[in-house]
Chain A
Amino acid sequence: MDGDLLRRLTPEVLGVLVRRGADFAAAEDAVQDALVQAVHGWPADPPRDPKGWLVTVAWHRFLDAGRADVARRRRESLVVEEPPPGPTPGVDDTLRLYFLCAHPALTPSSAVALTLRAVGGLTTRQIARAYLVPEATMAQRISRAKRTVSGVRLDRPGDVATVLRVLYLVFNEGYSGDVDLAAEAVRLTRQLAAMVDHPEVAGLLALMLLHHARRAARTTPDGSLVPLAAQDRSRWDTALIAEGVRILQAALARDRLGEFQAQAAVAALHADAQAAGETDWVQIVEWYDELVRLTDSPVVRLNRAVAVGEADGAWAGLAALAAVDPSVPRHAAVTAYLHERAGDRATAARWYAEAAHRAAHLAERDHLIRQAARLNARLPG
């Protein structure tokens, strides 16, 4: 049973149904039914034309559902009036689904769930497990999301930035489950990049690939975080890095810089260093300057202070940090790090303990308390 094939075909099949006149919510239900039937039936009896099979089954499901409540919704008349479907490229259909599922009327969590189901072809159960919520909760979230966008026409392109934001969220939320969300985000972004010629789409794909490449080195087998400088770089995936760098260079050459390209550029400079000590921090600071200009985000300013600390020394880093809002997440951790670099272990240990107190993630908290313990163990008295 080829789950990847099914999931790749999901948005195409859904797109065909919507183009034939099915409303989005009903079409989406019908496609899910067809997918379930495929999962059960294909292993014993694989179809010669999987997409054609799915379209036929989903379309019949849709018609059956329509007949069941025809008196109320007169869906059958709509179906009868619909011209017979001709062969049209699936790319536009799939692309429209990306925009619909990331529609600005949706909350981020709804857009993420709907994208994973309608574009990614995941089941509600898989999405629920990935986000650690009950299946009934996720089913409601998806169903409400479908109602929210059901009146949206699919004939106009949306803003690609909203789609990128949703894909970024899927990639960056490091929950675990039987579904690898990071890999799924990479797959969906790859698919998007193949359809849309936009430097920021390429930038996001490059960013994901460059971070995904470090994944094996980012945690120990027991789940502890390994900071970038301490990672075993031989465990970085060089093929992913090469692909990310190539995509990034092509995007940058078009001279339409955006925040994802700039973030990817920072990741590429890290990937380029054979050892942490060889990192080109001066160039990284320059990219953070670009990012500050593009986003004016306090998180970027915080990361910039770290880079300044590496490029110009810990005291310069602390000076840059003084201009950053202290309520930004990880501010205490950066303060601790820069004090340690400046040689003040006692102050650093206090800040690491404070940072652990404020940490938002379990693995991060354990990492920070370990840093405090490491410094305290070597302090006199």
Chain B
Amino acid sequence: MAKYLLLKHYRGAPAAVNDVAMDQWTPEEITAHVQYMNDFAARLEGSGEFVDGQALAPEGTFVRYDGPGRPPVTDGPFAETKDLIAGWMVIDVDSYERAVELAGELSAAPGAGGRPIHEWLELRPFLTEPPTITD
């Protein structure tokens, strides 16, 4: 088994095919979209492949250490930062091919006009513990 992170971007991924802001959809289209996402997660739980899924607020803060005795520096959000994560799903699957297949299904979630969004999702393998038997 291998764990993969499916990353959804607010910004930083190539534009989706059906790229319409959500507040321009109809309420029914939003309901259908949410239903699709819920069903997808439920199906992965059923197949024993779901690990975790979370959504993130669109705005965050950059923080860094500023030396001893000083409070951390906070800044941002930076408009020029290219990448903005909207949320993730962690899956635990048998193969890379299965991970790609599931990411493709998630990207097919319906959007404006009830048509698939064709959204670009980023698929990132976890770095895991080395196996016990290596030779």
Spell out A's residues near B (CB within 8 Å): 222-224, 349, 352-353, 356-360, 362, 365-366, 369-370, 372-374, 376-377
Counting from the closest, the 6 A-B pairs by CB-CB distance are A372-B23, A353-B23, A370-B27, A374-B27, A377-B26, A373-B27
B47 at the interface (CB under 8 A from A): no
Partner of B27, one of A356, A360, A365, A377: A377
What number of residue pairs across chains A and B have CB atoms under 8 A from each other?
Answer: 44
A224 to B58, CA, bound (A): 20
- Shortest distance in angstroms between A26's beta carbon and chain B's nearest beta carbon? 36
B35 in the interface, Cβ–Cβ < 8 Å?
yes
Name the A residues within 8 Å of B59 (CB-CB). Answer: 357-358
B24 touches A376 (CB 8 A): yes
Which B residues are in CB contact (< 8 Å) with A374? Answer: 27
Residues from chain A with a CB closer than 8 A to the CB of B17 are: none
Find out whether the CB atom of A222 lies under 8 angstroms from the CB atom of B38: yes
B residues near A373, Cβ cutoff 8 Å: 22-27, 29-30
A224 to B37, CA, bound (A): 13
User: In the bound complex, what is the Cα–Cα distance between A163 and B74 (angstroms)?
Assistant: 35
Q: Is the CB of B30 within 8 A of A369?
A: yes
B21-45 near A? 1/0 per residue, CB < 8 Å: 1111111011100110010000000
Q: Are B30 and A366 in contact (CB under 8 A)?
A: yes
Q: Tell me if B57 and A360 are in contact (CB < 8 A).
A: yes
Q: Closest Cβ of chain A: how far from B26's Cβ, in Å? A: 5
- The A interface, classified by DSSP as helix, strand, loop or mixed, is helix
What residues make up the interface of B, taking CB atoms closer than 8 Å to A?
21-27, 29-31, 34-35, 38, 55, 57-59
Q: How far is the CB of B46 from chain A (nearest CB, A)?
A: 17
The answer to whether A349 and B34 have CB atoms under 8 Å apart is: no
Chain B CB within 10 A, most for which of A359, A365, A372: A372
> Per a CB cutoff under 8 Å, which of B25, B29, B34 touches A222?
B34
The smallest C-beta distance from B33 to any residue of chain A, in angstroms, reads 9
Given contacts A223-B34, A349-B23, A357-B58, 6 further A-B contacts (CB under 8 A): A222-B31, A222-B38, A358-B57, A358-B59, A373-B26, A373-B30
Cα(A359)–Cα(B34), bound, Å: 16
Cβ distance A88 to chain B, nearest Cβ, rounded Å: 48
> In the bound complex, do residue B55 and residue A370 qualify as a contact, i.e. CB atoms below 8 Å apart?
no
Return chain B residues, CB-CB under 8 Å to A360: 57
Nearest to B54 among chain A residues (CB) is A362
B134 CB to closest chain A CB (Å) equals: 29
A224 touches B23 (CB 8 A): no
Residues of A within 8 A of B22 (CB): 356, 369, 373
List residues of chain B with CB within 8 A of the CB of A353. 21, 23
Asked if A366 and B34 make an inter-chain contact with CB atoms under 8 angstroms apart, the answer reads: yes
CA distance A356 to B30 in the complex (A): 13
Residue of A nearest to B34 (CB): A366
Contacts of A222 in B (CB 8 A): 31, 34-35, 38
Chain A to chain B contacts (Cβ below 8 Å), 5 pairs: A222-B31, A222-B34, A357-B58, A360-B57, A372-B23
Q: What residues on A are CB-neighbors of B57 within 8 Å? A: 358-360
